[in-house]
């Protein structure tokens, strides 16, 4: 079975969203949580070269990751080959890169830690009229696609879903101008029926555009954060040390 959402569909989809920290630094990743070491830019103190390109020796590899909309390049080092560098002696561009990389790692770990202690409770929308069926597309009496009142399409098979998804993807520029809800559902039902040579069967639960527009917005999740648990997590102390070293550097 394949589910295909519409361009205006986001509320019900996000009610099952996973942790935002899934793509962030992991607590057991030594690169992500390692301390930078202390360094004074005006003095002679040195800093461990986690993320500093000038410190790369044998065994280094470059990784690229996205964090908060920014593409970040970092160097993962073989710790057996680490050298100490004097941050104060780095060229300005390398110093700024070092500091930006350090800041992003701190932010990534803070976000990851908070997500581990965050619970999101989503309202039950199973009986919401917008989640009910708008229409089905049938071929010889067999339902091949179901469209709900938001315009979300569910297909009977993955193979059928792939065909329909390609069809709808090709029409996305035009679909963006169609109001969300029943208007989008009707447009999609017509396209699918034309593609498959099927018949549209309107459901008894189909809403009108006026009814859909009169509905209140979907409520967001109730978010609970266990700050005490965060404080007692070993990663919290590591992040604090990283922040202290960042301020000193």
Mean pLDDT value across residues 176-204? 91
Say if residue 27 is in the same domain as residue 100: yes
Residue 3 lies in a domain: no
Residue 14 lies in a domain: no
87: confidence class by pLDDT, cuts 50, 70, 90: confident
Say if residue 205 is in the same domain as residue 244: no
Give yes or no for residue 212 having a pLDDT over 90. Answer: yes
161 phi/psi in degrees, rounded to 5: -60, -35
Q: How far apart are CA 189 and CA 46, in angstroms?
A: 65
Residue 65 lies in a domain: yes
Say if residue 170 is in the same domain as residue 237: no
Q: Who wins on pLDDT, 58 or 154?
A: 154
- Of all residues in the chain, the percent with pLDDT exceeding 90 is 43
Convert 9-75 into a string of H (helix), E (strand) and C (coil).
Answer: CCHHHHCCCCCHHHHCCCCCCHHHHCCCCCCCCCCCCCEECCCCHHHCCCCCEEEEEEECCEEEEEE
Say if residue 51 is in the same domain as residue 110: yes
The answer to pTM > 0.75 is: no
Tally the domains of the chain: 2
Structural domain for 193, as ranges: 126-214
């Amino acid at each position: 079975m394949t589910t295909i959402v519409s361009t205006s569909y986001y509320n019900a989809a996000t009610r099952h969203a996973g942790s935002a920290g899934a793509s962030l630094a992991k607590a057991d990743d030594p690169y992500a949580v390692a301390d930078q070491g202390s360094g004074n830019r005006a003095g002679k103190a040195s800093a461990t070269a986690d993320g500093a390109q000038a410190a790369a020796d044998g065994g280094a590899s470059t990784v690229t990751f996205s964090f908060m909309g920014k593409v970040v390049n970092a160097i993962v080092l073989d710790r057996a080959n680490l050298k100490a560098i004097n941050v104060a002696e780095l060229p300005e561009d390398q110093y700024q890169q070092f500091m930006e990389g350090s800041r992003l790692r701190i932010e990534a770990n803070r976000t990851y830690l908070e997500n581990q202690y965050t619970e999101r409770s989503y309202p039950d929308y199973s009986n919401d009229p917008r989640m009910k069926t708008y229409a089905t597309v049938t071929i010889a009496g067999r339902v091949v696609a179901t469209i709900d009142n938001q315009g979300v399409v569910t297909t009977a098979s993955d193979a059928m879903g792939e065909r329909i998804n390609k069809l709808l993807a090709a029409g996305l520029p035009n679909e963006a101008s169609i109001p969300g809800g029943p208007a989008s559902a009707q447009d999609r039902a017509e396209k699918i029926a034309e593609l498959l040579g099927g018949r549209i069967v309107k459901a008894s639960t189909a809403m009108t555009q006026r009814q859909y527009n009169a509905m209140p917005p979907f409520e967001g999740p109730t978010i609970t954060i266990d700050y005490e648990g965060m404080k007692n997590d070993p990663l919290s102390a590591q992040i604090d040390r990283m922040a202290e070293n960042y301020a000193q550097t």
